Every structure is written in C-alpha cells, then in structure tokens.
Amino acid sequence: MRVFYPIFFAVLSMVVIGLIEILLIRVLNKEWWQYKPIKLGAILLPVVGIISVIFWFWGMANETEWLAQTGALLTTGALILLLGLIVSLPLSGILNLSNRWIEKRKRQENGENLISETKSEKIDEHRRLFLKGTAAALPLVSLSLGTGGIASSFTETDVYIRKMAYENLPSQLNGFRILLITDSHLGIYKQVAHIEEVLTSARQYNPDLILMTGDIADRMELLPETLNLVSEFGAPYGVFGIPGNHEYYRGIEQFKKIHKDSPVPLLIDAGKTININGQSLYIAGADDPRSMHGDYVKTLNTSINKSLENSASDSFKILMSHRPEALDRAAELGVDLILSGHTHGGQMGFGGRSFFENFMPDRYLWGEYSINKTRMYVSSGIGHWFPFRLACPTEAPIIELVSK
C-alpha cells in the first residue's frame, strides 16, 4: 500500500494547485472566465499535470524509462506553469477589481447617461485601459517566463574558462586548468550522453585536472559508465571525486564500491598530493554532512579539518566540498581554492548571480566568493532538481589559475 502514497500525494497536490488556479480566475478575474479558450486552458493544465503524474509513476513501476521521463517532464512543466499563474493571478485580480471599481464609480457619477467626453474622462479611460492591459499581461508574462525557463533547461551545458587570479601564485600553476563537474543528477533529466557532451566541449581547453564534487548520478547504475568516461578523457593529473547528499540518499556504500572498482579515486576526509613540475598541489575532499537538520556545518567543518591534516604548508590547497558553506572554515585553514556545487544557483539568476542572493545575502549560491586569500567557485551544476533554468544556465566551468 505504501507504494501508492507518493502517487496519491502527487496527484492530490496537483488537484489542490489546479483548484487554486481555477478559483483565482473565477473569483478575482471572473470576466476572463467567460472566454472559452481561457476556461478550457485553466481546466486542462491541471488535468494534464495529473495524467502526467500517473504516467511518471507508472513508468517507474514498470521500468519503462521513456514513459517515466515523459511523465516527469510534463508533470514539472505543468507544475511550473501553474505556480506561475498562482503568483500572477492575484495581482491581475487586484487590477481587474480596481478597474471594475473605477467603472462603477464613473457610472454612478454620470447616472449612466452618455455625456460629452471631457479631458478628465479621457484620463479615466486611459487608466482603465492600462489596468486591463496590465492585468492581462501579468499571466502571459508568467507563462512565457515559465515556458522559457523550461526550454532553457534543455540547452547545451555551458563549458567555458573561468579565470581565478592569485597573488604570489607559484609559476608552475600559472595557467593550470581544472574542469569542475558537479550536480549532474543523472537519471530522469540528464543522461550519460550529457557528460560526454561536456567532455567533448572541454577538449578544446585541455584541462589538466577533473574534479567531481557530488550529486553525479541519481540512478546509481549510470555511475560506473560515467566514471569510466571521465577517466578516459585523459586529464594529465587525473580525476578525483567526493560524495554529495544525493549519494547518501541513493546508497553511500554502493557509491563507495563503484568508485573503488573504477579508475576515479574517492576522497572522503582525505587528500592527495600531486607534484606539478616541482610545485606541490594538495587536493582535499570533504564529506557531505548528509542532513540539513541540526548543526550540519559543524559536521562539515570536522570533515574539512580531517581532509587537510596531511597537507604541507607550502602546498597550493584545493578543497572539494559539495556544500559551499565550507568557505568559512576553509578560509581559517588557509585553503587557496574551494570548488563546490549543491545549490544549482537556485536555478534562477539575475546579472550573473543567483536571483535568491538578493534575499539571502549571507548564502553562497552561485559564482565566485572569497574570504582573505581563500577563493571559492560555486557552480550552478550540470543537472537540475526539475527542468527549469531562468538566466542561470547549466555549466561545467574550467577554472584557470592565473597570477595577478
């Protein structure tokens, strides 16, 4: 019986959200309800969502991959559009109510008789037209943004050079390039082929090292092929990985075994020293605290401490941490570079930063951050929680170390 709980909850959620959307049109924007296309669309959108949920779970239960993927995509698409409407329809309703109030007041003033149009009446008419136009535009804008965000989630992953400058950078490391692969979440929305596309795009930049910072595969059976593929790329100084929170959700012991049987070393509470033409480069790997409950930062900090225990004082230190909260502790320990992910950049951006950074200025969400000499890059990742990207593209940046 428990197997039906997720599908029951998902269908119920879609029904509730759909009813809210319909009520917002009928109550706050009731003149729109008279138009059959709007009425039909308002009803069909949640119906499509409910049917998609059933397809999704049916495909998962019967291991029919194409059906599960189609159902998942349609479900999230319908959900995104519904949520966009739920945000915009109340605003449209307020404008429509204001317009109705203005029209009612005007009829009362004129006794509903035709009179010559004065300058003030023209102003009122312009105001009513503006309110009506804006009210109609808001849902259209939300639908277009939702559709655009869904479409952009299917665009090619951005592979590019991201220069990070350091004072007193050892000359041997000037121009050293690191391909960061994180948060691909292989399974429903991303496949191994997407990793292959990233590697093909990265080939022209000749990265020296590849680091994988967690949440690589939500379907664990896709991980062995992925690790072999990344290893076969032939980065001169190899490939290293760490777990993210999803590796724990999917089975950390299986994840560790797959890495052990693969050519990609796994660094957990540990590090590895690499000699770069006589310069020591230390790569540390922090474990994931697994849970957002309790003092998870303390757990993360303990792991960071362990991972750096064997680093030499003259090494250039790179810390792999799935969670960007590592910056605070790593800066205290003199780490030079942190590479992270986990946040997906909130999947919405503005001006090259996460849109949500405006509301959470103390969080590290997407892009470069620094404390003292410690620099960090938080990638928006290759995959998503759901297929929606608005001004926050998927990415696999190649970090290039350069001297100031």
Tens of pLDDT, residues 145-200: 999 999 999 999 999 999 999 999 999 999 999 999 999 999 989 999 999 999 99
Measure the CA–CA gap between 388 and 280, rounded to whole angstroms.
41
**349-364 per-position pLDDT tens digit:** 999 999 999 889 889 9
What CA–CA distance (Å, rounded) separates 331 from 352? 24
pLDDT for the residue 233: 97
The half-sphere exposure of 175 on its side-chain side, counting CA atoms within 13 A, is: 5
What pLDDT digit, counting tens, does each position of 52-96 carry?
999 888 887 877 888 888 888 899 889 999 999 999 999 998 888
Which has the closest alpha carbon to 154: 343, 319, 394?
A: 394
The model carries a pTM of 0.87
337-340 and 316-320: which strand pairing?
Answer: parallel
Exposed e or buried b for every residue in 44-78, given b needs 16+ CB within 10 A?
A: ebbebbbbbbebbbebbeeeeeebbbebbbbbbbb
> Is 377 within 8 Å of 368 (Cβ atoms)?
yes
Give me the pLDDT at residue 59, please: 85
Strand (E) or helix (H) holding 47: helix 36-61
282 pLDDT band (50/70/90 cuts)?
very high
What digits encode the pLDDT tens for the residues 121-141? 554 566 667 777 888 888 989
| Angle, helices 65-110/5-23, rounded to nearest 10 degrees | 20
Q: Where are the domains of the chain?
A: 2-152, 161-403
- The per-residue pLDDT for range 24-41, each reduced to its tens digit, is 999 888 888 888 999 999
Superfamily of 161-403 according to CATH: Metallo-dependent phosphatases (3.60.21.10)
**Among the listed residues 10, 127, 164, 154, the one whose alpha carbon sits nearest the alpha carbon of residue 78:** 10
pLDDT tops 90 at residue 201: yes
The chain-wide mean pLDDT, for the chain, equals 90
Tell me the residue ranges of DSSP E strands in 209-266. 209-212, 239-241
